[in-house]
Amino acid sequence: MALKSKHTVEPMFSMSSMTDIIFLLLIFFMLTSSFITPSGLPVNLPTSKAATVELQKVSVTITKNLDYYVNDKKVSKGMLEGELKSKLKGNEGVVVLHIDESVPTQHLVNVAGIATALEAKVSIATKPN
């Protein structure tokens, strides 16, 4: 007499729960990576004791060779105001200045003046001391 089971177990593994976990991890890393946007340009930032993290929408970088970059896009000094105006249009923005420590202060003042005239808040990026 042969006994047979009424319920058979299928040897297949369901991957739906694994894909859900991978999808959630992907969303988590995409969201957290957008909070910190480091500048990939070679700039030697000055140091300071007080440091706060500012969520930046527009980044202006001035290298030691006096090259101007807006969000990693190289612009000329004359085109800086137009580029900032297009990046800041319609919303109150924060302009973070990444300026090499060897750049004369006059260049910092010029860029900060342009950003202030466009009604943007200006913040200077520094390294912690």
Supply the CATH number for residue 123's domain.
3.30.420
What does the pLDDT look like over 71-125, one tens digit per residue? 888 998 889 888 888 888 766 678 888 888 888 989 989 999 998 888 888 888 8
DSSP 49: S
Domain of 55 in residue numbering reads as 47-128
Q: Report the length, in residues, of the chain.
A: 129
pTM of the full structure: 0.61
Burial class (CB within 10 angstroms; exposed 0-12, middle 13-18, buried 19+) of 99 = buried
DSSP 15: -
- CA–CA dist 22, 2 (Å, integer): 45
Q: How many domains does the chain have?
A: 1
Sole residue written with tokens 């342009």: 114
Q: Does residue 20 belong to any structural domain of this protein?
A: no
Q: Does residue 69 belong to any structural domain of this protein?
A: yes
Is 48 strand, coil or helix? strand
